[in-house]
Structure 1
Amino acid sequence: MKSKFAEYSTEQLLEEKSFIEWVLLGMHNSEWENFFDDHPEIRPHEKAAREIIHLLQDKYEILDEVSVLQLWKSIDSFDNIHKQKIKKLTIRRRLSWAASVLLIVSLGTFGFLYFNDSWQNYRFASSEITESDESRMVLSNGEEISLKEDNSTIAMDEVAEQVIVNDSIIDLSQKMDAGKSEAKMNEVVIPYGKKSELLLADGTKVWLNAGSRLAFPTKFTGKKREIFLEGEACFQVAHNNEKPFIVNAGGLDIKVLGTNFNVSAYPTEKTVETVLVEGSVAVSRSKVIKLGNKETILKPNQKASFHKENNEMTLTDETDVDLYIAWTYGWLRYERESLESVLRKVERYYNVEIELPAAYPSDDKISGKLDLENSLPTVMGFLSDASGFNYRITGNKVLIDERLEKLPTR
């Protein structure tokens, strides 16, 4: 353990995620044991914190989610209902931290609160994207507007209370209930094989990639500009010092004032990637309770990758960020990227299913650039030449045969 933890109190131990994981799940065992051996003066705090965790776990592990959230919001209510247990806690402030532990353990496991994306405070009203979907906009009143073009454009006009969809003007004032339009979200659903460009009410430009959903208000009110993304989008955020722009995507909060960045947060991918082109962004894990929630600050030409399986964030320098935003210009660029990863992107762009042989090497890396205006056979022909495989296109499926020979990496 780092020396700075030597000053830990009971409350601070309860805030430390890895400590609770150690008590509940036996994780980080040697790390914490060595720490307390080196700092025996902290043992009384460790004992008190452990007692609180087990006390609450034993009695309240079967509480439903609604009850737990109510207890979190009202410490006094918790005190009245469970006063016999609370007599064991000699410090009033401990109770608030005990409630936070209760919120964790009563949901079944500690990991649920920290790692489960279902705790996001927004649920898309539109159905999940399927192969048969058409591009559409779902207004906050539930009305759906078909986006017939492959590359649609949408512009919100909060002054005139209108939305311009391609060449059509829709009067929102006639479709919203008075006083309620600001509280609900509009949604844009872009299926596989299509794209869209949006101009939000604050002047922010959004390029929405294939297989994505975006939720946004008709106009931004309050102290922040908050939207929700599933899939991939590139943002050029209008600067506003008074209202930070926040993208909720894949369990992350990405906060900016004005900048240009790309977010890839497809549910089927193992990582959520944020690439900064210019400006500055702060990336943090979305949680109902932000205990120990740290921000990762990105500088231009950096990428933050959030790994869903182990809940870790990595930060890397990128020499060519254009690789990540080339899709907004109709190109798919890749540099020493696995063939499997490139093919997943091709699937989304062309709305097809590509099958690789089970024995195909997963670490096969390729480099190049694809013009997404070309037909699927042209694109697959280029990839076939680069990787040395044969393929067959049957309806909506692309079947790849075993690689004929090992070609040098480009």
Structure 2
Amino acid sequence: MKQNFLEYSQEQLIEEKSFRSWALRGENKSEWERFFASNSDFYSRALKAKEIVLLLQDEYDSLGDESVLEIWRSIDKYEQGYKQKVRKLKNRRRLSWAASVLIIVSLGTFSFFYLSDKDKKYEFVSSSEYSKNEARMIFPSGEKVFLKRNNSIIAFNDINARILVNDSIIQMDETSNVKARTIKMNEVVIPFGKKSELLLADGTKVWLNAGSRLAFPSRFTKKNREVYLEGEACFQVSKNEEHPFIVKTGDVDIRVLGTHFNVSAYPGDAKIETVLLEGSVVLNKPNAFGIEKNGIVLKPNQKASFEKGQNEFIVTDEPDVDLYVSWIYGWLQYRRESLISVLKKVERYYNVQIQYPASYPVDDKISGKLDLKNSLDIVMRALADAADFNFRIVENRIIIEKKMEKMHRR
């Protein structure tokens, strides 16, 4: 074992081939264990690096260094059959060309199958008109169950193949008619003005906010536990190192082993925000081949904002991450947040439309706390005091105006 490993940073360890082989396949396990026993301080750094390697293991599996080396080894064996130097030189040139062709063909074949299978963007069967539809769950058979409560609870039981939807028990076998099957996953659709709480089959807990939908399997049977999100959700993922949990939002993939984080990925928003409360996550922007080797590693009390227009991540420290999950408990807390961002959240939660003059300074930063268990009128009064405006409620519309004394000040 190289002694200079002790000087390696976490990033250097991840790039070290022998370290990845141990982390992924347990190669030279006893040798590494002896090294760790002699260097306890190094062990904690190695464990963190191993967790990131496990999170990214699919990328190392996809036509990595070993595959390319194997191609060259086969060519080299073929070349050794020729003894004469001149013929060796000629064949080297030919084989170099053949190797290039072989690698290109391999990459082409790989990309075809990868793109045709793994990089398909999930298309929700459910309508995205959240303001017009009831909260509902759609099973793989196409059967729908409407969720009457404003805050529904759904739990999947993988042992006896049952689903608990509020107070009703549904047998999963009854929803798996192959002939009638229209989708491969369950979908939960939460319209504006409602929320839902889910317990997935692997023990992962998910809170879905208003105007969101989630697609997920009844059982996780593949290598990766993949779900698809549109909107906002808070995840408390059940840890399983052999089966990473991946949240796919269309623009960003979030890969975890077991952790607690919040994701806001509404289609109409200019950015996707991921806030980490505990554990670690890796965020990637899928490329044309679906391969990402340089993911953004997020630490607790950090937020990653993916700016859709700029196509880039911005990572910031967030000392009070609880603000981002306060909606789970019926609160809307904000600190130095733009007024328009807060208004959007109020719109979604109460299923209303908020209008304001074109010249109104909606980018002004405000701080405060709203009790979403209160009526819309009480919430808007509290917000009006903080942001200094007058408002009128007309049916399901809220019309914002500046305070009259400020409008007519001389």
Q: Indicate whether the TM-score tops 0.5.
A: yes
Q: Which residue of 1 aligns with 2:401?
A: 401
1:146 pairs with 2:154:
no
Cα displacement string for residues 352-409 of structure 1 (whole angstroms, at most 9, x for unaligned residues): 0001210011331100000000000001101111111110100110000135578xxx
Q: Helix, strand or coil for the counterpart of 2:381?
A: helix
Is 1:124 paired with 2:124?
yes
Does residue 92 in structure 1 map to residue 85 in structure 2? no
Match of 2:329 in 1: 329
**Corresponding position: 1:263 with 2:263:** yes
Q: Secondary structure at the match of 1:386?
A: helix
CA separation of 1:283 and 1:395: change in aligned 2, threshold 3 A: same
Q: 1:204 to 1:292 in 2, by over 3 A?
A: closer
TM-score by length of 1: 0.69
Please report how far the alpha carbon of residue 271 of structure 1 lies from its aligned counterpart in structure 2 after TM superposition.
Answer: 0.3
Aligned to 2:382: 382
Greater C-alpha radius of gyration = 2
Q: TM-score, normalised by structure 2?
A: 0.69
Q: Can you give the 5+ residue segments of structure 1 that lack an aligned partner in the other structure?
A: 1-88, 104-112, 114-118
CA contact (8 A) 2:163 2:170 kept: yes
Distance in 2 (CA, whole Å) between partners of 1:200 and 1:316 is 30
**Contact 2:209/2:231 (<8 A) preserved:** yes
Post-superposition offset of 1:129:
2.8
Match of 2:234, SS?
A: strand
CA distance in 2, matches of 1:238, 1:163: 18
Aligned-partner Cα distance in 2 for 1:292–1:145: 37
Q: How far does the alpha carbon of each residue in 1:244-274 deviate from its partner, in whole angstroms, 9 at most, with x for none?
A: 0000014111010100000000000000001
1:279 and 2:279 matched: yes
- 1:298 maps onto 2:307 in alignment: no
8 Å contact kept, 2:150–2:194:
yes
- Tell me how far apart the structure 1 counterparts of residues 361 and 172 of structure 2 sit (CA, whole Å): 52
Note the residue ranges of structure 2 that are not aligned, 5 or more in a row: 1-96
* Worse-superposed segment, 120-129 or 143-152: 120-129
CA positional deviation for 1:161? 1.1
State whether residues 388 and 404 of structure 1, in contact with CA within 8 Å, keep that contact through their aligned partners in structure 2. no
2:327 aligns to what SS in structure 1?
helix
Amino acid at match of 1:398: I
Cα distance in 2, alignment partners of residues 368 and 357 from structure 1 = 23
Tell me, what secondary structure is at the counterpart of 1:313?
A: strand
Partner of 2:223: 223
Give the RMSD, CA atoms, in angstroms: 2.5
Tell me the equivalent position of 2:357. 357
- Compared with structure 1, are the counterparts of its residues 355 and 123 closer, same or farther at alpha carbon in structure 2 (3 Å cutoff)? same
Deviation at 1:130, TM superposition (A): 3.1
1:225-256, CA deviations, whole angstroms, 9 ceiling, x for partnerless residues?
Answer: 00000000000000111110000014111010
Q: CA deviation at 1:208?
A: 0.3
What is the CA–CA distance in structure 2 between the aligned matches of 1:192 and 1:265, rounded to whole Å? 15
Q: Distance in 2 between matches of 1:281 and 1:404?
A: 49
Question: Structure 1 residues 348 and 222 mapped into 2: Cα distance closer, same or farther (>3 Å)?
Answer: same
Number of the residue aligned with 2:232: 232
How much does 1:121 deviate? 2.6
